[in-house]
Structure 1
Amino acid sequence: MRAVVVRRFGGPEVMEYAEVPVPVPGPGQVRIRVAAAAVNPVDLATRAGVLTGAGVIPPREVLGLGWDVAGEIDDAGDTGFRVGDAVLGLRDRIALPLGAYADYVVLDASAVAPAPDSLSPVEAATLPLNALTAAQALDLVETVGSVLVTGAAGAVGGYAVALAHARGLHVVAVAGEADEALVREFGADAFVPRGPALADRVRALVPGGVDA
Structure 2
Amino acid sequence: MEAVLIDPARTGADKFYVGTVPTPRPRAGEVLVEVRAVALSAWEKGFAQDDDPRSLARRTRRRAVNLGLEFSGVVRSDGRRFTRGRRVMGGTHLTKDEKALAQYVTVREDYLAELPDTLGFPDAAVLPSGAQTALTAFDKAPAPTDVLITGASGGVGVYAVQLAAARGATVTALGGHDAGPA
Q: TM-score, normalised by structure 2?
A: 0.82
**Offset of 1:49 from its aligned partner?**
4.9
Q: Which residue of 2 aligns with 1:26?
A: 27
Task: Note the alpha carbon deviations across 1:44-76, whole angstroms, 9 max, x for none.
Answer: 2245459x95xx957448452110010110112
Question: Looking at CA atoms only, which structure, 1 or 2, has the larger radius of gyration?
Answer: 1
Does 1:127 find its partner at 2:147? no
> In structure 1, the residue corresponding to 2:17 is in which secondary structure?
strand
**Offset of 1:162 from its aligned partner?**
0.9
- 1:14 and 1:154 mapped to 2: Cα distance? 27
Q: Which residue of 1 aligns with 2:37?
A: 36
What are the residue-to-residue correspondences of 1:57-136 with 2, within 5 Å? 59-60=61-62, 62-77=64-79, 79-96=80-97, 98-136=98-136
Amino acid at match of 2:142: E
> In structure 2, the residue corresponding to 1:129 is in which secondary structure?
helix
- 1:73 and 1:60 mapped to 2: Cα distance? 25
Q: Provide closer, same or farther for how the CA distance between residues 37 and 2 of structure 1 changes in structure 2, counting only shifts above 3 A.
A: same
Identity of matched residues, %: 34
Tell me: higher relative CO, structure 1 or 2? Use CA pairs within 8 A at least 6 residues apart. 2
> In structure 1, the residue corresponding to 2:119 is in which secondary structure?
coil
Q: Which residue of 2 aligns with 1:164?
A: 164
Equivalent residue pairs, number: 171
Q: Which residue of 1 aligns with 2:180?
A: none
- Structure 2 residues not aligned, in runs of 5+: 177-182
Task: Note the alpha carbon deviations across 1:48-106, whole angstroms, 9 max, x for none.
Answer: 459x95xx9574484521100101101123x221111010010114132x311000000
Point out the more displaced range, 5-14 or 150-159: 5-14
- 2:121 and 2:111 mapped to 1: Cα distance? 17
**Offset of 1:12 from its aligned partner?**
3.1
Q: Provide closer, same or farther for how the CA distance between residues 61 and 160 of structure 1 changes in structure 2, counting only shifts above 3 A.
A: closer
Amino acid at match of 2:78: A
C-alpha RMSD over aligned residues? 2.5
- Structure 1 residues not aligned, in runs of 5+: 177-212
Q: TM-score, normalised by structure 1?
A: 0.71
